[in-house]
A = this chain, B = another copy of it.
Amino acid sequence: MRPHKHPSADQLTLERIFHALSDPIRLEIVLHLARVETATCGELDGDRPKSSMSHHFRILRDAGLVHTRAEGTIHQNSLRLTDLNARFPGLMDAILAQAMNGGTSGAKPKRKR
């Protein structure tokens, strides 16, 4: 696959990150990855066309949020938390905490505990 290009940590910008997270599908992907650590593209499509998902993954990669490595025919995705925390300490913690607590539009009003 000629390994995907990922921006280096110091190339990340908040604008790109915010743009990547402004789409419900992508926010869902990020949220899922925050829970399971690593997942293939196929595990994350919600019955959506592969080409659409590939598009969203590319934006997440370009924003530096997600790292994709090919293992055979499947691609393992994971959040680049180490790089993100190095570049923007505390940011992802805050974002993920709020996203998991029902801050997203698309979905489940999650009850507190």
Contact = CB atoms under 8 A, between A and B. Distances in A.
A109 B18 CA distance: 19
A50 interface: no
- Chain A contact residues (Cβ within 8 angstroms of B): what range? 20 to 34
A104 interface: yes
Interface string A82-113: 00000111110111011100011110000000
Chief secondary structure at chain A's binding surface = helix
A37 interface: no
A104 B14 contact: yes
A22 B18 contact: yes
Of A16, A24, A97, A103, chain B has the most CB atoms within 10 Å of the CB of A103
A27 interface: yes
Nearest to A63: B22
A18 B23 CA distance: 9
A35 B73 CA distance: 50
Interface of A: 12-16, 18-19, 21-24, 27, 87-91, 93-95, 97-99, 103-106
